[in-house]
Chain A
Amino acid sequence: MSYLLRRLIALPLVLWAAVSLVFFSIHLIPGDPVDMVLGETARPADREALRARWGLDRSVPEQYARYLTGLVRGQLGESYSFRRPVSDLVAERYPATLLLAGSAMAVALLLAIPLGALAALRRNRPIDRASMLVALLGVSVPNFWLGILLMLVFSLWLDWLPVSGFDGPASVVLPAVTLGASLAGILTRMTRSSLLDELGHDYVRTARAKGLGTRATLFKHALRNALIPVVTLVGLQFGALLAGAIITEKVFGWPGIGALLISGVQARDYPVVQGCIAVIVTSYVLVNLVTDLLYSAIHPRVRLGESA
């Protein structure tokens, strides 16, 4: 079976496994969502009406089948707390999350490629050590803590940037740096090691022997090749950024799907929790698939599914 076919089959399987795990976890634990919304003192008639409206009067297998059928049609159910279709809520908030993840990716690339390249070119010198220290801190820092510190310094002490919410381009800066810090650390290390690897190849020596300058050798040859694995990693990490945005959105009051998920978790609004997870997992898997396919297109030496 071709690799592409296997990946395409795996796509709905992953989504099915994720939503099923969440669905059954919700239904296996004790507690009635109607009690949570109406309180335990509500009139039985009101309770029954709400149970019927949400389909909770049916058996669990029947609810599961209805949920999966709805999911295939793009219906994610109705939110308990917002009393609106979850698909509408997700559609309203998803662009903000994509903007945040895209900006975080841009921040990570803008920091990581120059820093990683500089570290490789000046290896074992102070600038290399400083870059690697910054990268280590980037991958180790809890991003919600970094967000709080950035907010404290740049919003409250210096008053340069907005504290929270989504209000113009300036409000993207701090959440994007917060979310992108970890990826910047990973990419800096990757750029450095990949470039060091390329600099050891014969073609670099040949280019230099032919009289090509340092800058031309670096930008026309070595860096171009060194960035292939970095680009792959960027693609694979974009999905992780979408998932990681949940916490950053909470710190900055960012009106994205992560904040919606957290509000769903706090209100025990299970259709919202299920819907957000379905959307994030789908995006995550799709982005990873597209990255894999692009990687094989950019780099024909790699045979999909056969590379180590």
Chain B
Amino acid sequence: MSATAGLDRSSRAGLGLLLVIALCGVLAPWIAPYDPGRPDLRHGLEGPSLEHWLGTDVEGRDVASRILFGARVSLSVALAVVVVSVAFGVLVGGIAGLLGGWVDRGISAVIDVLLAFPGILLAIALVAITGPGLGNVILALTLLGWVAFARLVRGEVLVLRGDEFVVAARALGATQRELLLRHLLPNLVGPVTVLATFAAAGAILAEASLSFLGLGVQGLPSWGGMLDHGADVFLLAPHLAIAPGLAILLTVVALNIVGDGLRDRLDPRTAAASGQPGL
């Protein structure tokens, strides 16, 4: 079965858009028309032209090239945050759900406390304190990012652990580790993938927000950082703020569409809502 089977048309379009954006990021060094970091002060703040499709910034750097390279930063941050959050969240949630008892109560208490935090606020505070940079941004966003996965997985494992296939595996002598990794994990792939899609969208917006506040990735072109610089001169050159904002919007829209489609596919109840009778 293909990965996109069962997805509706808009979700496939979202997935396609996402692939194009990812390809742009991966192939940036080969397809970008200019070096994204090379200033050309003679051509600063130029509007879109045949030479520079999206114009140039204050230092004369090509905006289109910076957008292409910026995709690398946004997608790398999203990927890193999601991968680490999934790995840690699945492990912690799986242990809580599988072992139960005081381990579950302890982990659930930590999850409850961390879920009560406004995530972006803590990320701002932590990056402000530890200093901007790729690693610190990823760390700050992961610190609370895993919690949603842990809660989801704990709930799913609690439901699944009474199922016959788990009871049978236990009876055959499967260890807790085998139960989690070989039997339960394959059943968690769907809901975790849906959450991961929305989490990636959230991570891109959060990274852009941090960059906009001057707390994001330094030294590399990032969409949020470009927006921050564009906002300073948007009267003179609106394209500087419009282009990176559109790039963020398109990526997040694509992720949200794919997430919605996957969720509908995995949970027919949400899809069925549109088929119910009305007034």
Contacts and interface: CB of A to CB of B under 8 A. Distances in A.
Nearest to B253: A140
Contact of B256 (A139, A193, A205): A139
The B contact surface, by secondary structure, is helix
17 contacts: A10-B113, A14-B116, A25-B130, A123-B274, A123-B278, A136-B253, A142-B212, A144-B231, A145-B241, A145-B244, A152-B241, A204-B279, A217-B279, A243-B121, A265-B128, A266-B214, A277-B122
B192 interface: no
Contact of A243 (B118, B130, B252, B253): B118
B249 A152 contact: no
A142 B125 contact: no
B245 to A, nearest CB: 4
Interface string A183-207: 0000000000100110110001100
A32 B89 CA distance: 36
The A contact surface, by secondary structure, is helix
Contacts of B238: 152
| 10 tightest A-B CB contacts, nearest first | A243-B118, A145-B245, A200-B276, A265-B128, A140-B252, A14-B116, A140-B253, A243-B121, A25-B129, A199-B278
Interface string B167-206: 0000000000000000000000000000000000100010
Contacts of B129: 22, 25-26, 29, 270, 273
Contacts, number: 145
A232 to B, nearest CB: 16
B63 interface: no
B130 A29 contact: yes
B126 A280 contact: no
Interface stretch (A45-53, A83-91, A105-113, A244-252): A244-252
A230 interface: no
A247 B113 CA distance: 24
A222 B277 CA distance: 13
Contacts of A251: 231
A38 interface: no
Interface of A: 10, 13-14, 17-18, 21-22, 25-26, 29, 120-121, 123-124, 136-137, 139-142, 144-145, 148-149, 152, 156, 193, 196-197, 199-200, 204-205, 208, 214, 217-218, 222, 239-240, 242-244, 246-247, 250-251, 261-262, 265-266, 270, 273, 277, 280-281, 284-285, 288
B208 A142 contact: yes
Contact of B279 (A26, A142, A214, A270): A214
Contacts of B249: 137, 140-142, 145
A240 B227 CA distance: 23
B117 interface: yes
A149 to B, nearest CB: 7
A94 B273 CA distance: 41
B26 interface: no
B1 interface: no
B124 interface: yes
A273 B212 CA distance: 18
Contacts of A26: 129
Contacts of B245: 142, 145, 148-149
A30 to B, nearest CB: 10
A218 B252 contact: no
Contacts of B31: none
Contacts of A196: 273-274, 276, 278
Nearest to B120: A243
Interface string B127-147: 011110000000000000000
B118 A273 contact: no
Contact of B124 (A25, A142, A152, A265): A265
Given A145-B248, A196-B274, 8 more contacts: A22-B126, A140-B253, A142-B227, A144-B208, A144-B209, A152-B241, A205-B277, A277-B122
B279 A277 contact: no
Contact of A199 (B125, B241, B276): B276
B73 to A, nearest CB: 15
B139 to A, nearest CB: 11
A217 B208 CA distance: 45
Contacts of B234: 148, 152
Interface string B209-247: 100111100000000100100110011001001101100
B59 interface: no
B121 A136 contact: no
B120 A142 contact: no
Nearest to A185: B256
B257 interface: yes
B112 interface: yes
A140 B241 contact: no
Contacts of B131: 29
B151 to A, nearest CB: 12
A94 to B, nearest CB: 15
Given A145-B241, A152-B238, A281-B117, A197 B124 contact: no
B39 to A, nearest CB: 24
A273 B278 contact: no
Contacts of B126: 21-22, 25
Nearest to A163: B235
Contacts of A218: 279
